[in-house]
Chain A
């Protein structure tokens, strides 16, 4: 069974830093692209970042402006998100999600966020 378990959330002051972790099990972690997605309280979903299986392709949402860094340790089956210079607007539940390439009827591969963790809450407040 695929399991993704986030940890590391908590209360942090504006300007502070936090490192989130996502422990993966039940699948071969080293072969999947992984993502972070966040959801502010009462709001919609916002994609944060993705990292390819061997960390050679990394992408971020433009809104982050270089404050967040995604990484992974395939030997430890773990995904990370280092968050610096945190702001009140970064307050959210942070989910890690596995990206699967599903093939449609025409043979086209469409990346989809097939498995999600339960999320970890980050609160940025003085």
Chain B
């Protein structure tokens, strides 16, 4: 299995802040890395695919980067609707694995 880790596990930030979340894979996964956003009581939503591409409808304040084992998700200016938990997930092998998540809450 490929293990995924995320840091920090949680962070507190204010509206307008620039926020960077980190995800690391236990082995190289090229850019087979996706990010999901989950709000309480809701299903996850695909936020970024292939490490840096945004699906249609995702605001441009979200960006992703990285390849190999180290990846980042950046929110350039945090908005009230962005307070949520963010998960990374690898698709390099058919047995998908998720990171443990980073919870972003209001400072």
B-binding residues in A (CB < 8 A): 35, 37, 44-47, 50, 57, 59-62, 95, 102-106, 108, 110-114, 116-119
Contact = CB atoms under 8 A, between A and B. Distances in A.
A60 B1 CA distance: 12
B43 to A, nearest CB: 4
A50 B96 contact: yes
Main SS class of interface, A = strand
Given A105-B53, A113-B36, 15 more contacts: A37-B44, A44-B87, A44-B99, A45-B38, A45-B44, A45-B101, A46-B98, A47-B96, A59-B95, A95-B43, A102-B50, A110-B91, A111-B96, A112-B91, A118-B43
B34 A62 contact: no
Interface in B81-104: 87, 89, 91, 94-101
11 contacts: A37-B44, A45-B89, A45-B98, A47-B95, A50-B96, A57-B94, A111-B96, A113-B96, A114-B49, A117-B43, A118-B43
Interface centre among B43, B53, B95, B101 (most CB of A within 10 A): B43
Interface string B34-48: 101010000111100
A57 B34 CA distance: 22
Size class of the contact patch on chain B = 20 to 34
A97 B30 CA distance: 23
Given A44-B98, A47-B96, A108 B87 contact: no
